[in-house]
Amino acid sequence: MTIGNAWVKQARSAVLELLSFIVPGQSNFLLSTAHPEFKTITIGKPELFFFDHRLLP
């Protein structure tokens, strides 16, 4: 939480990439709607995702 709060307050970027702890080699992205460059963010092509059923309880 501290990293995310500092990132929003510093407003150095509109996107913060965080490595996934659950899916190796994948990332999660936080978007700051308050950042001036937020409106310039574009979404790339979707990629296939293979769900690992071992993640289910």
Q: pLDDT tens digits, residue range 15-48?
A: 999 998 888 888 999 999 999 999 999 999 998 8
Q: Which amino acid is at 39?
A: K
Would you say the pTM of this structure is higher than 0.85? no
| End-to-end Cα, the chain, rounded Å | 26
- State the Cα torsion 22-28-5-41 to the nearest 10°: 180
CA distance readout (Å), 5 to 23, 30, 32, 43, 44: 24, 11, 11, 24, 26
pLDDT of 50 > 90? The answer is no
Note the helical H segments in the chain. 2-10
